[in-house]
Structure 1
Amino acid sequence: DITEHRSLEKAKTAFVSDFSHELRTPLTTIQSAVGLLERARDRLDPLEHRALELADQELKRIRTMVEELLTLAQMDSWKYQLEVGPANLSTVVQTAIESVEAKAERFGIGIYFDDAGEHKCICDVQKLYQVFINLLDNAIKYSDPGARVDVEIDEGASSLTVRIRDTGVGIPDEDLTQLFERFYRVDKDRSRATGGSGLGLAISKQIVEMHGGSISVESEVDVGSVFEVSLPKALLSRSVSHAL
C-alpha cells in the first residue's frame, strides 16, 4: 500500500530527525567538558593526555555522524535547499584542503593543489565545501602513511570538474556500483576503525546532483582512486529529486 509506505517513511524521517536533535545536547555538554580539560593539558600525565585525545577524536566522529543523520532527514523531508551565489570554485576547494591539512599531516599524507586561478560558478559554497571535505577525508583515511593526494580543477566551456586522486588502498570493482548508496561501506572493519558511517558519499552525491552535476569514481585495488565532481558553471536546475 503506497499510502502506508509513505506514512512509514515519514515516521522514519521524523524519528531520525528528532533522535539526532536529542543527541546534540549531551554532545555539546561533553564537548564543553573536554574543552575544560584541554585547558589543563599541561598538568596531565601522558596516559591522561592520550585519553583526552581519544575522547576528543571520538566526540568529533559521533558529532559528524549526528550531523549526517540530520542532513539525511532534511533531504528526505524536502527541507534541504541550496543557497546559491557566485563563487570561485578554486577557493572552495582550497578552504576544504586547509580544513583537513592538520589531519593529513598527522597521518603523514601530503595534499597537493597548486591551482590559484579563478574558476567562477554559481553554487552553494557551504554544501560543496562539505562534499570536498568528505572526499578529502576519505582519501586520507584510506591511504597509508607517506601517500599523496592530488587535487586539480579542469574548466570547460560550461562546466568545471574537480578531480581528487589518491594512492590509497583502492576499491574493488564489485563495490563501485554501490559506493554512493546510503550506509554502504566497502571495508566494514576498516570503516569501523576509522569512523565511517557510510553516509558521506551518499550525501555528497545528492548535493552534487542538486547542483545539476555528477560525481563518479575510478579505482584500482592497491593503486588508488580518482573521484571526479563535475558541475555546471551556471545552476541548471533546482528541481533535482531529493530522494536518494
Structure 2
Amino acid sequence: MPWLSWRLALRRARRTWRRSLQLRTIALTVVLSGVAIGIIGGTMAMSIGGQLYETRRAQILAEAERAVLQGQNVLDEAATTVGEGADELNVLQNSLLPSIGSAATARDIAILRAPDSQTPTTLQDTTTSEFPQSVLSDALRQTVRTDTEQLSLQPVRLERLSSAGIVEGTEPGLVVGASLQVPTAGQYELYLVYDLGETQRTLDFLLQILFVGSIALIALIGGVVFVVTRTVVGPVREAARTSEKLAAGELEERLPERGEDVLSTLARSFNRMADSLQRQITQLADLSRVQQRFVSDVSHELRTPLTTIRLAGDVLYDQRDDYPPATARTAELLKTQIERFELLLADLLEISRFDARAVELETEPTNLANLTEEAIETVQPLADGVGSELRLVAPGGHMAVEVDGRRIRRILRNLLGNAIEHGEGRPIVVTVDSNQTAVAIAVRDYGIGMTPEQAERVFDRFWRADPSRRRSIGGTGLGLAISLEDANLHDGRLDVWSEPGVGTCFRLTLPRDRRVPIRLSPVELPPAEVLDGLLPPRDPADERMGGDGDARP
C-alpha cells in the first residue's frame, strides 16, 4: 500500500538522520545559510524594488510637471488670441493634446472637464484612443479638483494587450493628475497614465538573478561543508569503527596516524589508550584464567579428602547414640558442616564452569507449571517448619518449553528457599503465566524486604546484607548468583523487586522460543496482589525495624 511505503521511507530517513553526523551538519548548515541568505536577499530585493520605484516615480513627477506646465503655457498664450467661439476652442483643443504629448512619455493622456465647472463655453473631453477610463477613481478626481496646486498620484493595474488587441495580463502603472485652467471654459483635469511594466521587468530580472545567485551560493556552501565535514568526520567515523572492533574483542585494531594536526594527535592518543587497555585486559584475562584454574583445581582436589571425611563423619553420626551427649552433638555438627561444605564445593565448581564458559544446556520439552508445582512440593516441609503457606497461581505456563529442567529446578529451589528464609512466616505466592513470547515464574513473599541499595547487590557472589543474621535453612551465598547465570544461559532474565517491610519478589522470565526475543514479561513486577485481606496484621515494631532488624542475604 502507498502509505506503507511512505511510512517505511520516513522511518529510513529518520534512521539515516540519527546515524549520520555528516548529514545533520550539512543539513543544518544549508538550512541556516538559506535562512540568512533569504533574509539578506529579501532585504536587498525590497531595497532594490523600492529604489527602482522611487527613481521611476521621481522621473514621472518631473516629466508630468513639465507636461502640465507646457499645457498651461499653451492655454495662457491662447488666452489673448482665442475668443469665446466654439471654432476657436476646437482649434485650441486640437493643438493642446499634441503639445502636452510632446513634453511627456505617458502611454495615455486625458483632458476632462471638471464636473462642477459652471462656464457656458466648454472644451470637449479629449483622450488618446486607448485611454483606460476605469483607472480613474472618484477619489483621484476629487483630489485633483480640490488640490489644484499639486500633482496627484495613484498606482493602478493596466491591461497588457497583444498585437491583436487581446488582453494578455496586467502590469503596474501610475496615473498622474493635475488641474488646468482653460480660458473661457473653466477648470479641466489633466491625467497622464504611465506604464511601469519595463521597471517591473527590470526588477523581475534582478530578482531572478538574485534568486539564482542565492541558490548557487547555498549549493556552494553545502559543497564546502560536505568537503570539510568529510575531512573531519571521516577520521571520527574510522575511530568509531575501531572502537566497535575493540569492544568486540579485536584488541589489535588501531587508528592510522598521519600528519601532525589535531586528528593525528587524537589518533595517537587513542592508540596509546588502546595499547594500555590491551595490556590491562590481557593481564586481567590471564589473572582470571589463573583464578578459574585455581578454583577448579582446588575444588577437584578437595573432593577426594572430602569424600573420606564424609565417610568418617557418617560412621561417627550413625554411632552417636553410643557416645556421651557432648560427643554426639559434635558428630551431628560435623555431619551438618560436611554437607554444607559439599554444597559449597559443588557451587564453586559450577561457578568455575560458568566463568570458563564450559556450561552446556541439556534442554527438553518441559511444562513449567508442573515443574513449579514439583519444586513447591520439594520445599513444602521447610515452609511448614516456619509456618509459611505456599500458594501457586498459574493462569498460564502449561505448554511445553525447551529448557534445562535441572537448572530451572535449581533456580526455583533457590528462590523458594530465600522466600521461606525471609518471609517471616507469612504466605508465599508463586505465579506462573505466559504470553506469545515468554513464560514467567514469580516468587513473592511478604517478609522484611530490602532497600534499593541491597536489591542492586543481591546477585553478587557471597554477598549478605547482614552476616550476623541467623539462617534456618543454610546456604553458600552463591545460590542467586548461580540462578542468574542459569537464567542468562537460557536467554532469559531474573529480576527482583523489594521494599523494606513490604516484601520481595523475584521473577524469572524465559523465552518460549529462544529464536524469538522476549518483548514483555507476562508477569508484572511485583505480581498483582492475591492475598488482600488474608495477611495477618504486621507488628508495628517489625515495620519500624524491618522485621527482625535485618535484610535478606
Q: Is 1:125 equivalent to 2:125 in the alignment? A: no
Structure 2 partner of 1:210: 489
Mean Cα displacement is larger for which, 2-11 or 23-32? 23-32
Structure 1 partner of 2:421: 141
Q: SS of the counterpart of 1:181? A: coil
Structure 2 partner of 1:100: 379
| 1:13-34 deviation line (CA, Å, top 9, x unaligned) | 0001111122222332333334
Alpha-carbon contact 1:183-1:199 (below 8 Å) kept: yes
Alpha-carbon contact 1:212-1:236 (below 8 Å) kept: no
Aligned length: 236
| 1:99-152 deviation line (CA, Å, top 9, x unaligned) | 3223333333332226597332110111111111111111122233x3222212
Alpha-carbon offset, residue 36 of structure 1: 3.4
Mean Cα displacement is larger for which, 44-53 or 197-206? 44-53
Mean Cα displacement is larger for which, 24-33 or 65-74? 24-33
* CA distance 1:106–1:186, shift in 2 (3 Å): same
Instruction: Give the distance between the partners of 1:48 and 1:96, measured in 2 at CA.
Output: 36
* CA distance 1:94–1:25, shift in 2 (3 Å): farther
2:362 maps to which of 83, 86, 92: 83
Write the mapping of 1:11-160 to structure 2, written as runs, cut at 5 A.
11-40=290-319, 50-113=329-392, 115=394, 118-144=398-424, 146-160=425-439
Query: Which structure has more RCO (C-alpha within 8 Å, separation ≥ 6)?
Result: 1
* CA distance 1:44–1:163, shift in 2 (3 Å): farther
Alpha-carbon contact 1:119-1:160 (below 8 Å) kept: no
Q: SS of the counterpart of 1:189? A: coil
Alpha-carbon contact 2:340-2:476 (below 8 Å) kept: no
Instruction: Give the distance between the partners of 1:27 and 1:110, measured in 2 at CA.
Output: 37
* CA distance 1:193–1:110, shift in 2 (3 Å): closer
Amino acid at match of 1:17: S
Alpha-carbon offset, residue 164 of structure 1: 0.4
Alpha-carbon contact 1:185-1:198 (below 8 Å) kept: yes
Structure 2 partner of 1:241: none
Mean Cα displacement is larger for which, 63-72 or 10-19? 63-72
Amino acid at match of 1:124: D
Write the mapping of 1:146-225 to structure 2, written as runs, cut at 5 A.
146-190=425-469, 195-225=474-504
Mean Cα displacement is larger for which, 70-79 or 180-189? 180-189
* CA distance 1:150–1:193, shift in 2 (3 Å): closer
Alpha-carbon contact 1:212-1:235 (below 8 Å) kept: yes
Q: SS of the counterpart of 1:188? A: coil
Alpha-carbon offset, residue 48 of structure 1: 5.6
Mean Cα displacement is larger for which, 131-140 or 173-182? 173-182
Structure 2 partner of 1:10: 289
Instruction: Give the distance between the partners of 1:22 and 1:227, measured in 2 at CA.
Output: 35
Amino acid at match of 2:448: V
TM-score, scaled relative to structure 1: 0.84
Instruction: Give the distance between the partners of 2:312 and 2:391, measured in 1 at CA.
Output: 36
| Structure 2 spans left out of the alignment, 5+ residues | 1-278, 517-553
* CA distance 1:219–1:28, shift in 2 (3 Å): same
TM-score, scaled relative to structure 2: 0.39
Amino acid at match of 2:410: Q
Instruction: Give the distance between the partners of 1:114 and 1:186, measured in 2 at CA.
Output: 30
Alpha-carbon contact 2:421-2:471 (below 8 Å) kept: no
| Structure 1 spans left out of the alignment, 5+ residues | 238-244
Amino acid at match of 1:203: I
Q: SS of the counterpart of 2:468? A: helix
